[in-house]
Amino acid sequence: MLSRRHFLAGAGTLLGAGLVSKAGAAAIPEAQIIQHPNTIPPRAPDNGRPFNPVVTLNGWSAPWRMKNGWKEFHLIAEPVLRELAPGMKATLWGYNGSSPGPTIEVVEGDKVRIFVTNKLPEPTSIHWHGQRLPNGMDGVAGVTQPQIPVGKTFVYEFEARRPGTFMYHPHADEVTQMAMGMMGSWITHPKDIEQHRVDRDFVFLLNAYDIEPGSSTPKVNTMTDFNLWTWNSRVFPGIDSLACRQGDRVRIRVGNLSMTNHPIHIHGHEFEVTGTDGGWVPKTARWPEVTTDIAVGQMRAIEFDATDLGDWAFHCHKGHHTMNAMGHDVPTMIGVDHRKIADKIIRIIPDYMVMGERGMGDMGDMSMPIPENTLPMMSGHGPFGPIEMGGMFTLVKVRRDQKPGDFKDPGWFAHPRGTVARLVD
Ligand SMILES: [Cu+2]
């Protein structure tokens, strides 16, 4: 048994709820809560060391305050309602109003203090994945610290020693808490603002949920059969596009906190993996790719020159990861003429639909009845018709006139005359 003295002297200092509410109000910085899923464009830091901020896809970076040389953040672990895409909201757990939580951005050498308040119905902790830090700050409940009890606030303090891209997530009842959406990105920028400098720097996490059509809470005991494949807890067409200016050097940092690997693929350009959660890859060790597999618990930073104008697909290459729920139990019907049997079934089940005999593409275009709070399996409409995608899919939009620092979606690409595949027969 730990005595109270040990408790206070331990890795995470426990602050009583009373302290937080009154005398301690100024001791803990206010947490910014954001509940909408829009991408908030970055702001140059107004205090602390300078850095080039990242763009969190369908998210934002946490504000901080400087106090006696420490950069202080406040994360609140709590239940949140996250819109996965227009038409579907999920009941998740996250931080500061969202799943994932806000991105933490610091600079190499910063002394960082993070207050973590637990408003979940069960104890939690936060592990700072990939970081070099004192063992007692590593966030493994039971091993390096006691669990953060319900209603209490812990504080983590360490120096951001190694620049790179990291993640944060609970290390207490991990299966439940990660399946419910608890995670976030962490960027430690290099001290030298010119080092690894790019024109656009995006970040997001790969995650996945198993939510029954018509419901909103993930099944937390699912091991492999997830049905919603998400980027920062969003599915296509709810994932924002990555707007770039022609000629930009672009970095996309992708962390995987789902339970399977994802081969991430770009069209029209080739990239190099320039960083992992272990650090920056030396130039001589890089090779060109158009797909990179990101395993569970890994981060990959990819970089490319956005040379070619257009709307370029950027997605996971596993086919079923670019689809939404409902697809799993449908038998393959390609080549089966089941009109006769369908007539008989319709007499018993009036809503029965014949589907899939020409492939599944029809479903993107169909207005079939689906339960409330459920997304179609494939959706999205482009300038040439149905897109037939869902899940882990978005577009890298390269434009000549996209202004530096402008991340707004520029709309559909206007293809120059004679450059679109066409009907000839
Ligand atoms: Cu995938």
Q: What is the CATH number of the domain that holds 269?
A: 2.60.40.420
Per residue in 144-197, pLDDT tens?
Answer: 999 999 999 999 999 999 999 999 999 999 889 999 999 999 999 999 999 999
Overall pTM > 0.85: yes
Per residue in 38-77, pLDDT tens?
Answer: 999 888 888 889 999 999 999 999 999 999 999 999 999 9
Mean pLDDT, range 127-139, rounded to an integer:
97
Quick check: is 277 in a domain? Answer: yes
Q: How far does residue 424's CA lie from ligand 1's centre (Å)?
A: 35
- Pair 185, 310 in one domain: no
Q: How far apart are CA 392 and CA 236, in angstroms?
A: 6
- Pair 124, 264 in one domain: no
- Pair 357, 382 in one domain: yes
Q: How far does residue 206's CA lie from ligand 1's centre (Å)?
A: 8
Quick check: is 405 in a domain? Answer: no
- Pair 164, 295 in one domain: no
Last-in-domain residue among 197, 214, 239: 197
Q: How far does residue 298's CA lie from ligand 1's centre (Å)?
A: 13
Q: How far does residue 207's CA lie from ligand 1's centre (Å)?
A: 9
Contact between 103 and 123 (Cβ < 8 Å): no
Q: How far does residue 318's CA lie from ligand 1's centre (Å)?
A: 5
Quick check: is 78 in a domain? Answer: yes
- Pair 34, 141 in one domain: yes
- Pair 190, 207 in one domain: no
Residue 19 has pLDDT above 60, yes or no: no
Output the pLDDT for position 55. 98
Q: How far does residue 291's CA lie from ligand 1's centre (Å)?
A: 12
Output the pLDDT for position 372. 84
- Pair 290, 185 in one domain: no
Quick check: is 419 in a domain? Answer: no
- Pair 214, 316 in one domain: yes
Q: How far does residue 277's CA lie from ligand 1's centre (Å)?
A: 19
Quick check: is 409 in a domain? Answer: no
Output the pLDDT for position 210. 92
Q: How far does residue 8's CA lie from ligand 1's centre (Å)?
A: 43
Cα distances from 65 to residues 6, 366, 379, 389, in angstroms, run 29, 51, 42, 42
Output the pLDDT for position 370. 74
- Pair 164, 236 in one domain: no
Q: Give the count of domains, the chain.
A: 3
Per residue in 259-277, pLDDT tens?
Answer: 999 999 999 999 999 999 9
Amino acid at 1: M
Residue 237, preceding bond cis, omega within 30 degrees?
yes
Contact between 163 and 81 (Cβ < 8 Å): no
- Pair 188, 258 in one domain: no
Quick check: is 125 in a domain? Answer: yes
- Pair 64, 156 in one domain: yes
Q: For residue 109, give its domain range.
A: 4-197
Output the pLDDT for position 378. 78
